[in-house]
Structure 1
């Protein structure tokens, strides 16, 4: 298993963990967006640009969800 494959495995595992924990804190939603960026980078680096584009779209979706969360503005964890 090469470094790029390990990075991709880490990225999608990180995304899964963050997605499962999103109800616990708004920070998990932001972390999910970071995971999507990592997944997108993996897709482009691997040469699977459709995967990279879809992960970029998921990044935008996650950031919009995080931005609209009431707890984010109130400073609550």
Structure 2
């Protein structure tokens, strides 16, 4: 489970709090992009073959499903 990023400042100096906010924002962006890429990989993995079948069935001439799935 991913760790949560706190946006609260932990210090007396306002400059360090701004730096920690920037670091936490960049950390959030990094975690979000990693999460998005993992999901995109799963969607691509399971969606590619159905997409090819759907595109093949909508082309001219209209083949039957058995013709699309046969290797010949």
TM superposition score normalised by structure 2: 0.40
Based on CA coordinates, which of the two structures has the bigger radius of gyration?
A: 2
Bigger share in helix: 1
